[in-house]
Amino acid sequence: MKLTLSNRRLWIAVILSTLAILGFIIRLQPLRYGLYLYEFDPYFQYYITKYLVNHGLHSWFNLTREATKDLWWYPLGRDIYKTEYPGLAMLGAIIYYILKPIVFWLDQETLLLYISTILPPFMGVLEILFVYLIVKEIYDYRAGLLAALFQAFIPAALDRTIAGFYTKLGFGVAYILITIYFMIKALNSKRIIYAIIAGLFFGITCLTWGGYSYVFLIFIAYAILVVIAGKNDEVFVKYYIVATLIALIFAVNTPKISLGILKSSVGLGLLASYLILLFDLILLRIGVERHRRILIGTVFALTIGLYIGVASLLRLISLSPLGIRHLSIIMPWLRGLNVLFVSVQEHQMSTWALLCRETGLAFILAPIGIYLLLRERVNQPGLLVFIAVITSIYGAASAAYLMHLSSPFFAITAGIALCRIIRVSAIELAKEVKVRKGRRLGVKIDPTPIMVLFFFIMIVLSLTVYTGFLSGQQIPTILSAAGSVPVVNKVWIEALDYIKNNISDPAVIVAWWDYGYYITVITGKATLCDNSTVNATHISWVARALIGDENTSIEILSNIFKTPRNATYVLTYEVFIKQEFRDSVAYILVPRGDLAKAIWMIRIGGFNETKYITEYGDYAWDSPVVMNSTLFKMIIGGIREIGGQPYAYVYDPTVGRRSIQPLPIEPPERFKLIKAFEETTRGYTVVVFLYKVEF
């Protein structure tokens, strides 16, 4: 069948639809375990969405410190409307309003859970589609389909779009791709309506995710690179200013961002980009030769940057710096300045092994795609994608949680590279045959290299699809003991249900910040800190209360947090291997819970680390500070209290290896064990302890 334009479009639609459907199915795999949210942040987004559904979208501004002090960051409360982005919760609430009359038989909680669970895979489908559209605009449809294939299946692309991952980053990445596509479309078609649409989705990104500053920065770098490359013109300047100004309006009207953006590095950088573009345009209009214009424009850009830097140092202008979180990504060597930031596993720098595992074969193909993109697409749209590719991959290498941000750009470059490899191979493998008076009568094809190429392509496709299916088979975090064991373990659900149904209000649950969203949203009880980590001082006091001795803990809870005297509880947990050992039930410590995080509590709380850790990396179990630590007594002493014998693998220098040793820590005296929740699955025994404080 001859491939006409109409049937080519049909085949493209069929292939792209198949990829989108398969990508959606893969992302729905966690539903096999039931209707659960994934990770921690989605619980908070679910809470806000439910609040907006019950009180209206305008009620966002009612989420003040005073209104939340009995739930969040007790006893201070949290100005949620100033410290959180409203975009995701508002989208969820709007979808609820649309669906409720249609699926009226579902109660509110169930419908909200469906929305929160299934919406992320839909955003994953959007990412697949817009990866295809972007590559189609800057390269061709064949490379676009290959890029969509990678985006559908590579593990990094699934990261924030699997069922239940109702959090901001996954949605923000989809909006960024839509923004980039419409900006490219505007430049290619010379139609301003596309620039306006790009600005609107750029603005929605500002409403949704803190990565808005990253998008501004890539646009600023994009503008400067266009000038340096000599690709500036009137159309570009107009569309660039329209898109970024619309986004700036959204940003200014987002309470968490507000007018402060105008005096931040982002705001001044945006102003500098306008000046550079307009100055270069003036040079273009008066007929300055291209190479001289590039040189003058580069010098002008460096002069503006130098002026802003010097003026900021001399305090001639008040420049709001980027937060330590953003600076730690741009300059990884600064991350040690913020122990709280470094303590989060997803904020750690990515290793080569992690990058390769999360992006698969795209990791190998991406450098080729970057080279082709820079060599063959040095135009306005190509430069935008090039900037996004380089910066996102750098960000993913600097902080593991940005792996999903880099996934579409790995897919884009891998798709371009694989398309070129196939195309060049096909040309080289086909040899023209000339017969009779120089007439070309046909093509002679050597079957051996064709089979090798076909085998290579099938390997690439099969490995990519296989790793995608495996990556989608993830257990919801709350079903795997807060992600500490690789099997289904419902002990946390049992513990939270008990707190919800058996502890009367008002009550305060003291726990490490990792579990704050879980506890408050599921049980309705107040917590001292949570996953937002908006108050580092508050968290440091919680660390001191957990790591310090019992008297210190009581003093902090009583005097610093002023928790209710008869309704303050402490929740902690750990993982063990349970077995019969020396005529008793042995609980051999496998530190994956709070004792794995205790080292960060020690550092954040300002304790002397050397008193708690031996030179071999073990806890100094016989040290007085460890034996008297409230957290250690609750977990290790708690095992004794439920009738078990605690053990741990400890390095013994006399024999030069690790051996099992009993842990000499007794239960706490001023904390009463209310209940210990225990569940063993596939060799892992998870124990959650609930204590009541006896002031």
Question: Does 621 have pLDDT greater than 70?
Answer: yes
Rg of the chain taking only CA atoms, in angstroms:
29
Last residue of a domain, one of 372, 403, 420: 420
Same domain, 413 and 526: no
Q: What is the pLDDT of residue 439?
A: 57
E strands within 137-202?
Answer: none
Residue 586 vs residue 444, higher pLDDT: 586
Q: 535 is in which domain, residue-wise? A: 491-693
Question: Does 238 have pLDDT greater than 80?
Answer: yes
- Out of 21-30, 384-393, 425-434, which region has the weakest mean confidence (pLDDT)? 425-434
Same domain, 389 and 517: no
Same domain, 283 and 395: yes
Q: What is the pLDDT of residues 496-522, one digit of tens each?
A: 999 999 998 889 999 999 899 999 999
Question: Does 318 have pLDDT greater than 80?
Answer: no
The answer to whether residue 331 sits within a structural domain is yes
Same domain, 495 and 390: no
Q: What is the DSSP string of 523-563?
A: H--EES--TT---HHHHHHHHHHHHS-HHHHHHIIIIIS--
Average pLDDT estimate for 163-187: 94
Average pLDDT estimate for 240-265: 91
The label of the residue with tokens 């987004």 reads 45
Q: What is the pLDDT of residue 313?
A: 60
Same domain, 260 and 409: yes
The answer to whether residue 454 sits within a structural domain is no
- Out of 110-119, 151-160, 194-203, which region has the weakest mean confidence (pLDDT)? 151-160
SS3 354: helix
SS3 track for 95-151? HHHHHCCCCCCCCHHHHHHHHHHHHHHHHHHHHHHHHHHHHHHHCCHHHHHHHHHHH
The answer to whether residue 303 sits within a structural domain is yes
Three-point CA angle 175, 177, 178, nearest 5°: 65
Q: What is the pLDDT of residues 65-116, one digit of tens each?
A: 988 888 999 999 999 999 999 999 999 999 999 999 999 889 999 999 999 9
Instruction: Give the Å distances, CA to CA, from 502 to 248, 523, 542, 567.
Output: 49, 10, 24, 12
Give the mean pLDDT of the chain. Answer: 86
The answer to whether residue 537 sits within a structural domain is yes
- The total of structural domains in the chain comes to 2
Same domain, 496 and 394: no
Question: Does 127 have pLDDT greater than 90?
Answer: yes
Give residue 119's pLDDT band: very low, low, confident or very high (50, 70, 90).
very high
Q: What is the pLDDT of residues 368-407, one digit of tens each?
A: 898 888 887 667 788 899 999 988 888 877 777 788 888 9
- Residue 566's identity, in one-letter code, is N
The answer to whether residue 444 sits within a structural domain is no
Report the percentage of the chain scoring pLDDT > 70.
87
Last residue of a domain, one of 362, 394, 420: 420
Give residue 149's pLDDT band: very low, low, confident or very high (50, 70, 90).
very high
The answer to whether residue 426 sits within a structural domain is no
CA–CA separation, 575 and 486 (whole Å): 12
Same domain, 213 and 120: yes
β pairing state of 645-652 and 568-581: unpaired
Six token digits for residue 671: 């904390």
Q: What is the pLDDT of residue 21?
A: 94
Give residue 565's pLDDT band: very low, low, confident or very high (50, 70, 90).
confident
The answer to whether residue 390 sits within a structural domain is yes
Same domain, 415 and 526: no
Six token digits for residue 695: 């002031």
Give residue 444's pLDDT band: very low, low, confident or very high (50, 70, 90).
low
Q: What is the pLDDT of residue 52?
A: 95
Question: Does 248 have pLDDT greater than 60?
Answer: yes
Instruction: Give the Å distances, CA to CA, from 371 to 188, 413, 522.
Output: 22, 9, 50
Phi, psi of 645 (to 5 degrees): -120, 115
Give residue 154's pLDDT band: very low, low, confident or very high (50, 70, 90).
confident
The answer to whether residue 70 sits within a structural domain is no
- Out of 36-40, 123-127, 352-356, which region has the weakest mean confidence (pLDDT)? 352-356
Same domain, 404 and 299: yes
Last residue of a domain, one of 397, 420, 443: 420
Residue 294 vs residue 44, higher pLDDT: 44
Residue 598 vs residue 349, higher pLDDT: 598
